[in-house]
C-alpha cells in the first residue's frame, strides 16, 4: 500500500517558503450519485465514481497563521479543540503531509457557515478549504486536479469541494490515486434548489468512514452497488445536459435509497434513519403524487436534502416549515 506522504512528496518544492498567513473558502457539497466504499483506505480511493453539486457560499473558511508558542492550535467556529480530539488529530496529520521537515507550528482556524441546524457534514468543505489554504501558505501552486486528489486524502468527499457547480469525482485506476480527482462539469442550472430538512443533528454512532467499511465487508448486497452507481452517473450526465429535472431527481433519490439499502443489509445493520426521516420521505412521495416535482437524497445520517426547482419553493417551504433553501447556482 502506498502512503499519502509517498504520493504527495514529489509535488512539493525542495524548500518550503511559508507565508505570513493564508485564507481560503471551499463549499460544502451534496452527492447526487454517492461515494460509498473504498478500494484503498489509506488514500481514500473509491470503488465508484460520484457526482455532486456544491452549495455555493455555504461551506468552510480556513485561515492558517504561524503559531508563536511552539504548538499547533486547531480552532473550529472560534473554539479551540483539544489536540487529541478526532478532528484536530486529522487536521494536524494532514498538515504534516505538507510542512515536512519544516515542522513549523501553525494555528488552523476554520469557520463553517453551514447552518449547524441543517446537520450537513463539514469534513468535505473543511479539508478542501484546508488544502487550498495550505497551497497558498506554502506557495505550492498545485493544479486544481492535484488539489482535489490531495484533499481526497483528508476526506474522500473533499475532492469534490475543491470545485463549484456540478462536480464529478472520477474514480481513477492508478495505484497512487493521482487520477482519482474531481472535475467541474461545464453546466449550470440556475433554477435548481436544494432544501435541507433537519431531522436530527447529534453526532452519529457510526461515522461514514466506518459505515462504508462495514458495508463493503459484510453486505452481499454491496456487490450490486458499483453497477447501480455507474448507471446513475450516466443518467445524471444526461439529465444535466438535457436539463431534465425529473431524471435528475429520480436518479438521485434512487441512488441514495440504493446506498441505504446496502447499509441496512450490513451486519451489524446500519440504519441512519429516524422515524421522522421516513415520515419526511413519505411526505415527499405524497407531494409527488399531488403533482409537485420534488425528490430527496440522504447521506449517512437522518436528514433529507430535497431537490426541486425555484417555481416550487413556496409550496415546499409551506410543506416543510423549517426548510433551509440553497440555490447552488445563485439566484437566476
Binding site residues, ligand 2P0, CB under 6 A: 31, 34-36, 44, 50, 123-124, 155-157, 208-209, 299-300
Q: Distances from the Cα of 125 to the Cαs of 210, 268, 325, in angstroms?
A: 20, 30, 18
Cell representation of residue 242: 438535457
- Residue whose Cβ sits closest to ligand 2P0: 156
Cell representation of residue 56: 455555493
> How many CB atoms sit inside 10 A of residue 146's CB?
18
Q: In the complex with ligand 2P0, which residue's Cβ is closer, 297 or 309?
A: 297
Alpha-carbon span 292 to 3, nearest angstrom = 49
Alpha-carbon span 245 to 256, nearest angstrom = 17
Q: How far is the CB of 153 from ligand 2P0 (least distance, A)?
A: 9
Alpha-carbon span 158 to 155, nearest angstrom = 5
Element (H, E) at 230: helix 225-242
Q: In the complex with ligand 2P0, which residue's Cβ is closer, 61 or 204?
A: 204
Alpha-carbon span 177 to 47, nearest angstrom = 12
Q: In the complex with ligand 2P0, which residue's Cβ is closer, 134 or 319?
A: 134
Alpha-carbon span 295 to 273, nearest angstrom = 17
Q: In the complex with ligand 2P0, which residue's Cβ is closer, 225 or 329?
A: 225
Q: In the complex with ligand 2P0, which residue's Cβ is closer, 259 or 319?
A: 259
Whether residue 306 contacts residue 195, with contact meaning beta carbons closer than 8 Å, is answered with yes
CA 217 to chain centre: 22
Q: How far is the CB of 20 from ligand 2P0 (least distance, A)?
A: 31
Q: In the complex with ligand 2P0, which residue's Cβ is closer, 109 or 299?
A: 299
Whether residue 136 contacts residue 22, with contact meaning beta carbons closer than 8 Å, is answered with yes
Nearest by Cα to 113 from 125, 96, 104, 103: 125
Q: How far is the CB of 18 from ligand 2P0 (least distance, A)?
A: 27
Q: In the complex with ligand 2P0, which residue's Cβ is closer, 146 or 297?
A: 297
Q: Is 78 helix (H, G, I), strand (E, B) or coil?
A: coil
Q: How far is the CB of 213 from ligand 2P0 (least distance, A)?
A: 8
Q: How far is the CB of 132 from ligand 2P0 (least distance, A)?
A: 17
Q: How far is the CB of 214 from ligand 2P0 (least distance, A)?
A: 12
Q: How far is the CB of 199 from ligand 2P0 (least distance, A)?
A: 15
Amino acid at each position: 500500500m502506498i502512503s499519502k506522504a509517498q504520493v504527495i512528496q514529489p509535488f512539493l518544492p525542495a524548500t518550503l517558503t511559508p507565508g505570513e498567513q493564508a485564507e481560503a473558502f471551499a463549499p460544502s457539497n451534496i452527492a447526487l450519485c454517492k461515494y460509498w466504499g473504498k478500494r484503498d483506505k489509506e488514500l481514500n480511493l473509491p470503488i465508484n465514481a460520484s457526482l455532486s453539486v456544491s452549495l455555493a457560499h455555504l461551506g468552510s473558511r480556513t485561515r492558517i497563521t504561524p503559531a508563536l508558542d511552539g504548538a499547533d492550535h486547531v480552532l473550529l467556529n472560534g473554539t479551540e479543540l483539544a489536540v487529541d480530539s478526532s478532528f484536530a488529530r486529522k487536521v494536524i496529520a494532514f498538515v504534516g503531509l505538507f510542512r515536512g521537515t519544516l515542522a513549523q507550528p501553525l494555528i488552523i482556524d476554520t469557520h463553517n457557515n453551514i447552518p449547524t441546524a441543517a446537520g450537513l457534514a463539514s469534513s468535505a468543505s473543511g479539508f478542501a478549504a484546508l488544502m487550498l489554504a495550505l497551497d497558498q501558505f506554502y506557495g505550492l501552486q498545485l493544479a486544481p486536479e492535484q488539489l482535489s486528489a490531495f484533499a481526497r486524502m483528508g476526506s474522500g468527499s473533499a475532492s469534490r469541494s475543491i470545485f463549484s457547480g456540478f462536480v464529478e469525482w472520477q474514480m481513477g485506476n492508478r495505484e497512487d490515486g493521482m487520477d482519482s480527482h474531481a472535475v467541474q462539469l461545464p453546466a449550470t442550472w440556475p433554477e435548481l434548489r436544494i432544501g435541507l430538512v433537519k431531522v436530527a443533528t447529534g453526532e452519529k454512532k457510526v461515522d461514514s468512514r466506518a459505515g462504508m467499511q462495514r458495508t463493503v465487508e459484510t453486505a452481499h448486497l454491496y456487490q450490486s452497488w458499483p453497477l447501480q452507481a455507474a448507471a446513475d452517473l450516466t443518467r445524471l450526465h444526461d439529465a444535466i445536459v438535457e436539463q431534465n429535472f425529473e431524471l435528475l431527481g429520480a436518479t438521485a433519490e434512487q441512488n441514495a435509497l440504493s446506498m441505504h439499502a446496502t447499509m441496512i443489509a450490513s451486519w451489524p445493520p446500519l440504519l441512519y434513519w429516524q422515524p421522522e426521516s421516513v415520515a419526511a420521505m413519505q411526505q415527499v412521495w405524497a407531494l409527488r403524487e399531488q403533482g409537485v416535482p420534488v425528490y430527496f437524497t440522504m447521506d449517512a445520517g437522518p436528514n433529507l436534502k430535497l431537490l426541486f426547482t425555484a417555481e416550487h419553493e413556496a409550496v415546499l417551504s409551506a410543506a416543510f416549515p423549517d426548510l433551509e433553501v440553497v440555490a447552488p447556482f445563485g439566484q437566476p
